[in-house]
Chains A and B, each alone.
Chain A
Amino acid sequence: MRLDVDALGTFYEMAREGAQLAADRLTPMTDIQARVGVTRLDFTTGEAIRAELDDDVEKVGIRVELTGGMDGTALLLFDEASAEAVAGTLTDGLDGSDEALTRSAIAEVSQIMNSGFVDGWADVLRTEIDVSTPDLVAGTEPEAFVDPDDVATGDDLAVVFRSQIEAVGTEFAFRHYFVPTAESIEALFQRRTAGYALEYEKLVGFDRMAHRGAETVAENLTKMTGIEMDVDIRRINFVSLDAIPEDVPAEPQVSVAFSFDGLPSGYLLFLFGERSARSLVSATVGESELDESGIGAFGQDAVQELSNVMASGLLDGWANLLDTTIDHTTPTYAHDMGAAVVDPLIVGLSEGQEFAFVFDTRIEAVDADIEFDLDIFAIPDEGDLERALERLEVGRVDDTPTRAEFTAAADGPDSEDLRELAEMEGVDL
């Protein structure tokens, strides 16, 4: 199957249109001023979807099956507090103690909002979509919402339309997922043709390659810091460039950016929360290099250099598999608002494209008591990604070493190589 990027753009608009209609229908019902938050088209695994739903939070909503112009499963979920707030507006200030009434109110709101989504999609696709009678779903575990055999088993990637609606001025968590069937997606792409298209199977191969690269970064971060790390989230988002800033943490971020050149070219951004950056510095350089205001000059150099090591490993791994060369610039550092840090990258790309495939990876400490997380955004140039994927031999993905050796990290913070690197860079590790 070939993914026509113009068609993907249409699907993205479809998701946004649906979210807007759903938000518009929430306000008159509940007096909650709603607006569309993040809307994304994700390529993700069933396992990742289940992991996202496995958040120990009680969720309630509806699940429906769609048929006709678009086949698939839609889930509309509120977290418990939001559900009670919404139900309270419908049931004259109900305090949530009458669970049956709350659930019935939520079912009603969910159904009306889900119809908003579906009507928006049908408008964009100029088709009719039938919706099954909704099942009320509730629970904390993913099994309450998705059948493990239902969505993208094994290495398959599911296409997920994901939207968030926010209430103005209140804490309000609501999400909507739509997972079309593979046949439905294929049929939609067959209806559309344009000059620029990606092989879906190759995108899946690239995703597997990116996964191995992310695992390697996590392993080496573990070695460098002594804190056990793991890949928490990894997905390919197809998203409008102007929506990317909404997807980065709001708090100030310690960030290191690179541009890379070759097949593909694009931008690579490492985002550390302030605490994570301090942990990284104290684990590799020592507490003494932290100053009161935060990272300190040597700490900044260390964050930059360690990110440089990780970026080289990641991109060399990609280049190995694509049998190409990818060069990257020296790292540049900024400590600023998350959105402000990502904005120059999207401005740079937006001169030539409207949408981007964003390879989004989050690495976290395994121990939930240790606050350490790193977000990595790789945003390739659209045309270069197409050419790079053409070179990708999917059969080689699993037997080509994508692990460029992170020798600098091999022996952890005391590594001889890391010391040499530090001397070259003038960093006192």
Chain B
Amino acid sequence: MKTFESAAADAPTAPDRLLVGVSDYVVAEDGETLVAYGLGACVAVALYDPEAGVGALAHTMLPHQPAEGGSPGKYADEAVRTMLRELVARGGDYEAAEAWLVGGAEIFALPDIADGAGERNVAAAREQLAALDVALAGMAVGGSRGRTVEFDTATGEVRVSTADGHEEVL
């Protein structure tokens, strides 16, 4: 049946792979692989406590949560705060947590299109991690290519791929 040509539907999934949609975040403690697909200016924030085996991934779209609130997964700063709280609530250790950032590219050079949005998202996430004293273990940010990140919470491996077939493990 042809329904919608959805990236989520077409992305390869296995029972232990969970897709994290835009403005969403997922916390995993059973070794699932968390996937944020097709990051352009959006920034994925991964948090992990290797000892407890608890990991979280957010697919953020904007840098700062406004005063009136809003979906935590949508904003880089609030995603860091919310996921860290949930990591601890699920048995993770605040001081052991480490982070990775992926995305924040500039895909199009349109003059008025969210100019520097990717950079601002990356900066907001980094500032929030620094403010909470969370170590930044790796990054694949900036540039002009879209990225997909797969975060294996069983091993802590963060794998980044691009449309041209390039892959790297952070």
Question: Are A332's CB and B62's CB within 8 A?
Answer: no
Is B9 an interface residue, CB under 8 A from the partner? Answer: yes
* C-alpha spacing A343/B118, complex, angstroms: 10
When distances are taken between beta carbons in the complex, the residues of chain B under 8 Å from A55 are: 1-2
Known contacts A168-B15, A340-B147; decide if A175 and B3 are in contact (CB<8 Å).
yes
Stretch among B36-44, B79-87, B131-139 lining the A interface? B36-44
* A-contacting 9-mer, from B16-24, B46-54, B90-98: B16-24
Which B residues are CB-close (under 8 A) to A166? 6, 8-9
How long is the Cα–Cα vector from A173 to B10 in the complex, in angstroms? 12
Is A59's beta carbon under 8 Å from chain B? Answer: yes
CB pair A242–B74 under 8 Å, yes or no, is: yes
Flag whether B113 is at the interface (Cβ < 8 A).
yes
Tell me, in angstroms, the Cα distance from A252 to B8 when the chains sit together: 14
* Cross-chain contact of A343 among B9, B19, B107 (Cβ < 8 A): B107
- Given A343-B38, A347-B42, also A168-B13 (CB < 8 A): yes
**Inter-chain contact B163/A173, CB cutoff 8 Å:** no
A57 / chain B contacts, CB cutoff of 8 Å: 1-2
Does B117 sit within 8 A of A, measured CB to CB? yes
Asked whether, in the complex, the Cβ of A337 is within 8 Å of the Cβ of B5, the reply is no
What is the distance, in angstroms, from B65's C-beta to the closest C-beta of chain A?
A: 13
Q: Which residues of A are found within 8 Å of B106, using beta-carbon distances?
A: 344
A37 and B18 contacting across the interface, CB-CB below 8 Å = no
Closest Cβ neighbor of B8 among chain A residues: A246
Give CA–CA (A78, B1) in the complex, Å: 8
- The B interface, classified by DSSP as helix, strand, loop or mixed, is loop
* A216-244 with Cβ < 8 A to chain B: 242-243
Interface of A is mostly: mixed
Q: Are A351 and B114 in contact (CB under 8 A)?
A: yes
Among B2, B7, B111, B117, point to the contact of A246 (Cβ < 8 A).
Answer: B7
User: What B residues does A344 contact at CB under 8 A?
Assistant: 40-41, 106-108, 110, 113-114, 117-118
Q: How far is the CA of A59 from the CA of B106 in the complex (A)?
A: 42
Q: Please report the C-alpha to C-alpha distance between residue A169 and residue B146 in the assembled complex, in whole angstroms.
A: 24
Q: Is A350 a contact of B108 with CB atoms below 8 Å?
A: no
Asked if A329 and B111 make an inter-chain contact with CB atoms under 8 angstroms apart, the answer reads: yes
Residues of B within 8 A of A38 (CB): 3-4, 6, 8
- A336 partner residues in chain B, CB cutoff 8 A: 40, 107, 145-146, 162-163
Closest to A293 in B: B164
B28 smallest CB distance to A (angstroms):
13
B70 to A, closest residue via Cβ: A354
A341 (CB) vs chain B CBs: closest residue: B107
Complex Cα distance, B1 from A77, in Å, reads 10
CB distance from B16 to the nearest CB of A (A): 8
Nearest B residue to A332 via CB reads B108
User: Which chain A residues border B111 with CB–CB below 8 Å?
Assistant: 259, 329
Contacts of A242 in B (CB 8 A): 21-24, 61, 74
Contact across chains for A348 and B114 when beta carbons are under 8 A apart: yes
Residues of B within 8 A of A335 (CB): 163
Name the CB-closest residue of A to B145.
A336
Question: In the bound complex, how far is the Cα of B7 from the Cα of A341, in angstroms?
Answer: 12
Please tell me if the beta carbons of B8 and A334 are within 8 angstroms of each other in the complex.
Answer: no
Q: Give 12 A-B contacts (CB < 8 Å), ordered by A residue.
A: A38-B6, A55-B2, A79-B1, A246-B21, A249-B7, A267-B113, A337-B148, A340-B163, A343-B22, A347-B41, A347-B42, A350-B74
Task: Please name the 3 residue pairs, one residue from A and one from B, whose CB atoms are nearest each other, closest first.
Answer: A340-B146, A339-B38, A79-B1
Binding site for A on B (CB under 8 A): 1-11, 13-19, 21-24, 37-42, 61-62, 74, 105-114, 117-118, 144-148, 162-163
